[in-house]
Structure 1
Amino acid sequence: MRWIIALDNGFARISYLCGWVASVALILMVLNVFYDVLARYAFNDVSIAMQEMEWHLFAVVFMLGIAYALRTDGHVRVDVFYDRWGDKAKAWVNLVGALVFVVPFALLIAYYGYSYTMEAYNLGEGSADPGGLPHRWIIKSLIPISAIFMATSGLGMVTQAIRVLKLGESYTGGKSQGGLA
């Protein structure tokens, strides 16, 4: 069962990397908004590109934050029931939920998101506003990329559940004891 621990730790590293990138993007977004507000109200200067960068950074925060939230149990679920269950019941819920919902949904998003991104790339899509950001395909490429990371976190939910079921580990704040947590 060492391979399952190594695999789970690898999935955890990927999810935590997504969380780190989302955190950095959040800091950059706050700085961007601060600059944009300062430029607008103190210097009467407006930059369409900086305004568009705000929602691009928000997309990074949201879409990469999903993978991190799945790994750390920060996502929405009916905790009224889940919190009262034992570790084995939680493991079964996570195992089935990941295999039936998370991974297939993420792969579906990746499949359709790829063609959406390629269409934007082939069209040379950019901002409709003058002075806006060019190369809209770059931010659209985050859709299939984040979906792959979401699928990876879903597989991490599976390996984490197997650790609880087979190795008798317990959930501690959404992380099994033997992992990177």
Structure 2
Amino acid sequence: MPNIIKSYVKGVDTLNRFTGLVTMHLIFVMIGLLLYSSLSRTLFDTPINSVVTISQFLMSAYYLLGGGFSMQEDAHVRMDLFYSRWSSKGKAKMDVFTSIFLMFYLVILLYGAVSSTMYTIEVGQKTRTLIQYPLAPIKILMTLGVLLMLLQATATFFKDLAKARGVTL
């Protein structure tokens, strides 16, 4: 494989590893926020109205930004009827084939995410809750998450292509 592809794969893997490891800690922020809300409601009789909305935003950021790292770690759910019985090279060939469809899907998703984000920024879209939070930050994170997933899918495509050809990347 050319050095530019090796550099691309290494760079994307590093970026998604860092993003995934940082994003993993959002679960603790969510737990703390929900615990605080629960305690304030039961012990002090002071409900916090915005906790559900903020938790939804955090959860969205958690799974959207962690998608590339999850793909890198091969932690996605896979429908496995025959795949586990195939050789490493056979698996790589099938992954190369299916990656093309995944990348097509992610390009369409990225187009929609960018379009949605631009619209949100242009009109100043906000949540329809008691406290109207701007939607732009979560839409930007959504777009970034889809982009990271597309970059990782492309890097994984190159890794699988190398493996299918019997070359180490």
Give the TM-score normalised by structure 1.
Answer: 0.83
2:18 and 2:149 map into 1 onto residues whose CA distance is 12
Aligned length: 168
Q: Residue 64 of structure 1 corresponds to which residue in structure 2? A: 65
Mapping for residues 10-25 of structure 1, pairs under 5 Å: 10-25=11-26
For residues 48-82 of structure 1, give each alpha carbon's deviation from its aligned partner in whole angstroms, at most 9, with x where no partner exists.
22221101010011112221121111112223422
Are the aligned partners of 2:110 and 2:147 in contact in 1 as well (CA < 8 Å)?
A: yes
Deviation at 1:166, TM superposition (A): 3.6
> Residue deviations 1:78-103, cap 9 Å, x none?
2342221111111111111112x221
Q: Take 2:52 and 2:153, find their aligned partners in 1: how far apart are those partners?
A: 33
In structure 1, what residue type is equivalent to 2:56? W
Aligned ranges 1:146-161 → 2 under 5 Å: 146-161=145-160
Does the CA-based 8 Å contact 2:71-2:153 persist in structure 1? yes
Contact 1:88 1:164 in 2 (8 A): yes
Q: How does 1:89-100 map to 2 (within 5 A)?
A: 89-99=90-100
CA RMSD in angstroms comes to: 1.9
**TM-superposed deviation, 1:149:** 0.8
Structure 1 residue aligned with 2:86 = 85
Per-residue deviation at 1:127? 2.6
Alignment of 1:38 onto 2:44: no
Alpha-carbon distance between aligned partners in 2 of 1:57 and 1:35, rounded to the nearest angstrom: 15
Aligned to 1:140: 139
In structure 2, the residue matched to 1:107 is 107
* TM-score of the pair, normalised by structure 2: 0.88
Aligned AA (2:104): P
Unpaired stretches in structure 1, ≥5 consecutive residues: 170-177
**Whole-angstrom distance in 1 between the partners of 2:55 and 2:20:** 18
Name the CA distance, whole Å, in 1 between partners of 2:82 and 2:12: 27
Helix, strand or coil for the counterpart of 2:24? helix
Do the aligned partners of 2:13 and 2:152 also contact (CA within 8 Å) in 1? yes
Match of residue 120 from structure 2: 120
| Identical positions, percent | 21
8 Å Cα contact 1:102/1:150 also seen in 2: no
- Unaligned runs of at least 5 residues, structure 2: none
- The code of the aligned residue for 2:90 comes to A
